């Protein structure tokens, strides 16, 4: 599993913000992924929160080769397998379970599982995972909580998601145990509905320019 973690980090390639996308219209998947990639955010997470999410992943993965398309809100092994079959390059889950770890162990697709409690973090560590999703970040204690985890869990790195915005993103990116953040502000619902890909590209370019530390 540790080898797959390095594979995932290589896919993200230093990208500071991973767009977290909930796409209602499958026809928006391709132009949205293209706009984000043009802005410098090639890796995107399409969440399984809509009926057409798997088709969105399939289309974006097939028709936007410059994008690195992952699947989010994966809750069980069946969803993991379905998302991998349609072209997901990485899988993101809000939590961690034995079944998800088993699905990840038999797949070439790397898993970014959610972990916010010490017990969950230790479970992930025992499975060989040292890069985790911290969700819901703001509601779970925010940057201050993550900072407190850095000492007892040295070597564990996080991607905080949930409540991360333009206003607080630097609080997270400034932490030594944060690799990147997940956020929806780079593709807000109103701009997606308006199909304003130019505005979304501009937001992506601004986010891509953020720096760690």
Start-end of H helices in the chain = 2-12, 29-38, 53-63, 77-85, 98-105, 118-126, 142-149, 169-173, 189-193, 197-208
Write down the catalytic residue from 4, 22, 133, 201: 133
Residue 45 annotated as catalytic: yes
Residue 133 annotated as catalytic: yes
For residue 95, how many C-alpha atoms fall within 13 Å in the half-sphere facing its CB? 8
Tell me how far apart the alpha carbons of residues 18 and 133 are, in angstroms, rounded to a whole number: 11
Write down the catalytic residue from 4, 6, 22, 45: 45
Start-end of H helices in 13-52 = 29-38
Tell me how far apart the alpha carbons of residues 180 and 45 are, in angstroms, rounded to a whole number: 13
The token duo for 66 is 């410059």
Active site members: 45, 133
């Amino acid at each position: 599993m540790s080898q797959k973690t390095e594979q995932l980090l290589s896919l993200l390639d230093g990208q500071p913000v991973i767009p977290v996308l909930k796409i209602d219209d499958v026809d928006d998947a391709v132009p949205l992924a293209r706009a984000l990639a043009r802005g410098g955010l090639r890796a995107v997470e399409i969440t399984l929160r809509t009926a057409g999410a798997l088709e969105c992943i399939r289309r974006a993965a097939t028709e936007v080769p410059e994008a690195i398309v992952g699947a989010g809100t994966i809750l069980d092994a069946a969803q993991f397998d379905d998302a991998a079959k349609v072209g997901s390059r990485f899988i993101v889950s809000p939590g961690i379970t034995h079944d998800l770890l088993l699905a990840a162990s038999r797949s070439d697709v790397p898993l970014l599982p959610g972990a916010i409690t010490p017990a969950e973090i230790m479970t992930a560590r025992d499975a060989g995972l040292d890069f985790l999703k911290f969700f819901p970040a703001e509601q779970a204690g925010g940057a201050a909580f993550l900072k407190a985890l850095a000492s007892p869990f040295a070597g564990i790195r996080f991607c905080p998601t949930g409540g991360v915005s333009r206003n607080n993103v630097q609080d997270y990116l400034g932490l030594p145990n944060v690799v990147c953040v997940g956020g929806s502000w780079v593709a807000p619902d109103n701009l997606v509905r308006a199909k304003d890909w130019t505005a979304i590209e501009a937001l992506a370019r601004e986010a891509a320019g953020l720096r760690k530390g």
